[in-house]
Amino acid sequence: MEELNEILKFYREIGAGFIEREHKNPLADLDEVTRVIKNCTRCQLHKTKKNYVPGEGSTSPDIMFIGEGPGETEDNFGRPFIGKAGQLLDKVIARMGYTRETVFIGNIVKCRPPNNRDPLKDEVDACMPFLIRQLEILRPKVIVCLGKVAMNNLLDVDYSIMEQRGKQFEFHGIPVIPTYHPAYILRQQSPDAVSKAKWDMWRDMEKVLAIVHGAGTIDAPPSNGAAE
Ligand code: URA
């Protein structure tokens, strides 16, 4: 009970809870969340990280991409998805007709878990108010969960990404489409497996575009320099 009160208190402190519908100044609100993230000591990850990685992009994005947590490169630079997986994500975003600046890219946890392990439950719980507050300010038309960790932690479920990718879920009224983490595509061993994974992801992105625009019209998967 005490723990629950603590969590509620923090949600109130940062104003998260999908209470406000109008955000008169999303940039200032987002800056404030970023400021709080950059002072966070709510879980152990702050002790081992080099930089906080709050997320970045548009303040009125159609799409918000959510990964699991910063890797080494992201930790070094304080920016999300800028390593190899990020380069592939950039291509997917471009093929969808967007740029990093016109979507928002964030993560379930804002500090790198040591050795890129999955974030622990208490770390996710500690960080979730930040993501909720970001979503509340940004109000994307669609959320894309990149991989199982993002999907399961955002939706509070224990699903297989293989079974659930491309299906539509909802988070506080916002449609959610889970898809592969780009690193999964990069890990595929054969050209056929790479090609299949890209097409699967691309079909998922067409669903995302269909929600945003009312139609998914793009007919080729993104290329991926590293795997081709
Ligand atoms: N993988 C993630 O899940 N997030 C990042 O920011 C980078 C790699």
Q: Where does 5-101 show beta strands of DSSP type E? A: 56-57, 63-67
CA of 182 to the centre of ligand 1 (A): 9
CA of 172 to the centre of ligand 1 (A): 23
CA of 9 to the centre of ligand 1 (A): 29
Q: Which of 79, 107, 111, 123 to mutate to test the pocket of ligand 1 (most atoms within 8 A of CB)?
A: 107
Q: Which of 68, 152, 153, 181 to mutate to test the pocket of ligand 1 (most atoms within 8 A of CB)?
A: 68
Mean pLDDT of 159-179: 97
pLDDT tens digits for 29-81? 999 999 999 999 999 999 999 999 999 999 999 999 999 999 999 999 999 99
Q: What is the DSSP letter of 104?
A: E
Which CATH number applies to 2-14+24-212? 3.40.470.10
pLDDT tens digits for 122-160? 999 999 999 999 999 999 999 999 999 999 999 999 999
The full set of domain ranges for the chain reads 2-14+24-212
pLDDT of 22 > 80? The answer is: no
CA of 70 to the centre of ligand 1 (A): 4
What is the C-alpha to C-alpha distance for residues 160 and 180, in angstroms, rounded to an integer?
11
Q: What is the DSSP letter of 43?
A: S
- The answer to whether the beta carbons of residues 54 and 33 sit under 8 Å apart is yes
Residue closest to 172 by CA, chosen among 14, 33, 16 = 16
Whole-number pLDDT of residue 85: 97
Q: Assign 157 to helix, strand or coil.
A: coil
CA-68 nearest atom, ligand 1? 3
Tokens of 125: 């719980």
CA-53 nearest atom, ligand 1? 6
Mean pLDDT of 207-213: 96
CA 58 to chain centre: 14
- The answer to whether the beta carbons of residues 179 and 166 sit under 8 Å apart is yes
Type of residue numbered 48: T
What is the C-alpha to C-alpha distance for residues 35 and 112, in angstroms, rounded to an integer?
18
CA dihedral 62→203→169→20, nearest 10 degrees, is 0
Whole-number pLDDT of residue 225: 40
The β-bridge partners of 178 are: 145
CA of 74 to the centre of ligand 1 (A): 7
Q: Which of 76, 81, 110 to mutate to test the pocket of ligand 1 (most atoms within 8 A of CB)?
A: 81
Unique residue bearing structure tokens 């575009």: 209
Which pLDDT band, with edges at 50, 70 and 90, does 218 fall under? very low
pTM of model > 0.85: yes
The β-bridge partners of 106 are: 66
The answer, yes or no, to whether any atom of ligand 1 lies below 6 A from the CB of 74, is yes
Whole-number pLDDT of residue 69: 98
Name the average pLDDT for the chain: 91
What is the C-alpha to C-alpha distance for residues 36 and 4, in angstroms, rounded to an integer?
20
pLDDT tens digits for 86-127? 999 999 999 999 999 999 999 999 999 999 999 999 999 999
CA-149 nearest atom, ligand 1? 3
pLDDT of 175 > 70? The answer is: yes
